[in-house]
Amino acid sequence: MENTTIRRVPLIITVVAMVAIVALLIQAKRHPVIAPSAPTATTTDGTTLCYALNKPTASGYNDIAYVKITSTDGGQHVSGELGTFLAEKDGMHGTIGGSVTSDGTSAIFKGQYISTGEGVNTISEQMIKLDQTQAQLGYGEMIKNTDGSYSYKNPATVTYSLTIPRVDCAQYDSLKTASN
């Protein structure tokens, strides 16, 4: 039974991610959250938004983080990837899937994050604030659900602290590769 649930989670996450990207795109058309001069990558198959951080620290190592979200159906579903490799901390990377809503000044991605870190696979709720120039990862106290996944204990108290600048998607792959 547990293996069946684990196999279904990636499909569920993918569906949720696609919903988030589509919602972001719909919101961007109604109330643009991306400056006209900001880089975008649009294809006939959908829209992709890329964010990447590769910043040296005082320790001599780099903080590397990335977010890439894609919509393939005009904004109804979003999916993508997320990775954080902060200097002298355990790194995590994986896929995200969910939906995006707007508060008038920024868009909030809310969905699931299927990640791998230190050889352990984890499924957790993820919130990301998106605006014209950056993505900010949401952090908050997590609780373990009965299915083994994790969710925010109180989503209203989530804080957004890791800032990842928006980049042209052509730069994204080279910045992300530096972390692997």
Q: For 47-105, write each residue's pLDDT tens digit.
A: 889 999 988 888 888 889 999 998 776 556 789 999 999 887 888 999 999 988 776 77
- Bridge partners, 150 (sequence order): 124, 144
Average pLDDT of the residues in 165-179: 81
State the total domains in the chain: 1
Averaged pLDDT score across all residues of the chain? 76
pLDDT of residue 162: 93
167 class by beta-carbon count within 10 Å (0-12 exposed, 13-18 middle, 19+ buried)? buried
- Residue 8: domain span: 2-177
pLDDT of residue 178: 58
Quickly count: other Cβ atoms within 10 Å of residue 171's Cβ.
13
Average pLDDT of the residues in 156-179: 86
pLDDT of residue 75: 54
